Amino acid sequence: MVKTLYKTMWNNLKQFRAGEIEKKGSNGSLCFSIAPMLIDIFDIEDPMRFREKYNMAIGGSGSEEDKITTLHSSSLCALLHFYNVERHPLTLEFKTKNNKKVEIKRRVIFNKSVFEFKSPVIGNPSNMDVVLIGKESKDNGKDVVLFLESKFAEYYLYANKKSEDISERYRGGEGNEYTKIIYEPETLNRLGLKTECSKKKNHFYLNSEETFYVNGIKQMISHYCGIRNIMAENYFDKESDEFRQKEIQDVVKAKINGAVVILGEIVFDYKIGELEIPLRGKVKQKCICAYCTKYEALAKEIASLTEDLQKFEIVTYLLKYSDIKKIMEDKMEDKIKAFYYGK
């Protein structure tokens, strides 16, 4: 599937010069040879700011610095699209639902971005790819903090019928108050999901009769849990991490009090969204359609669970990188546009 992705996106890699990319692992993945080359490869307009944001982006849990150099990295995609909103503010329009289940049209000017924000969940922290900070465009507009999970090709490459293992604590025990109801059979049934016992002790996983990116739903439930925690002023312990996480935590904490807090997900849709996956039996569907349906169903459930929570909203549909490209057409580096959009 990786080969199909590369052929679809980069026409057999003819655009890259010798030495810029190399093989990575045994699944056909490719990566940029040396991370500092990214500034030259993409002719970055503001190298100093890019380095600052790059250091944030590799500060998550796991081998982020190794992952971000992969050609189809979702964190690299987020970094290249949002690293420079301080210089080039991003005006974004989208729809959300709030605690009254009312659909709201938001038009927000974002002028700050941070990457790999950690929030406390159950066990390891939840790592949010990018947090955009801004203000509504209207007079006396509200402050807005938008937490965005970024996906590049995961919803195609990892379309499956089950998720990774999930701790039983998410549906019972200490720290489960925000997720227990989501993992109840009645809620999952509306999402076309059910739980199965894992071979791993005290764990379960999500199972689906239809093929789609099930693990994406699992991740969004965790992000919801993390945001509920920070809105209750339960932040990730910044002292336990290195300096760059301290900066990220401080920036978000300074803005979040009094702001509208919004959870959403953005996917790279250009060309990739057209790729088909086997939905059920011989029936196929575009991978983006399969995942979008499940995301919207989850967003509806989360909106119904936050009736007592002020200033929290969830984006009702998947945001798309192609829309960001249209908005930032004259502000995005030409080589970034060429890499992702072929022009």
56 Cβ contact list (under 8 Å, min separation 6): 114, 115, 116, 244, 247, 248
H-helix or E-strand spanning residue 227? helix 214-231
Sorted by where each begins, the domain ranges of the chain are: 2-341
For residue 175, what pLDDT is reported? Answer: 60
Query: Quick one: DSSP state of residue 153?
Result: S
Phi, psi (degrees; rounded to nearest 5) at 280: -155, 120
Q: How far apart are CA 114 and CA 56, in angstroms?
A: 7
Strand partners, 263: 147, 314
Tokens representing 283 are 């029936």
For residue 243, what pLDDT is reported? Answer: 45
Strand partners, 203: 167
Q: How far is CA 330 from CA 88, 132, 155, 337, in A?
A: 10, 20, 29, 10
Dump pLDDT digits (tens) for 22-53.
Answer: 888 777 888 888 777 899 999 999 999 999 99
Average pLDDT, the chain: 89
Q: How far apart are CA 183 and CA 193, in angstroms?
A: 9
Dump pLDDT digits (tens) for 259-280.
Answer: 999 999 999 999 999 999 998 8
| Burial class (CB within 10 angstroms; exposed 0-12, middle 13-18, buried 19+) of 109 | middle
Dump pLDDT digits (tens) for 48-102.
Answer: 999 999 998 987 555 667 789 999 999 999 999 999 999 999 999 999 998 777 8
Q: How far apart are CA 218 and CA 298, in angstroms?
A: 10
The position carrying tokens 């919803």 is 155
278 Cβ contact list (under 8 Å, min separation 6): 211, 284
Which of 41-55, 147-161, 230-244 is the least confident region?
A: 230-244
pTM more than 0.95: no
The position carrying tokens 């026409």 is 11
pLDDT at 117 over 70: yes
Q: Are 114 and 131 in contact (CB under 8 A)?
A: yes
Helices (H), 97-206: 154-157, 185-190
For residue 244, what pLDDT is reported? Answer: 53
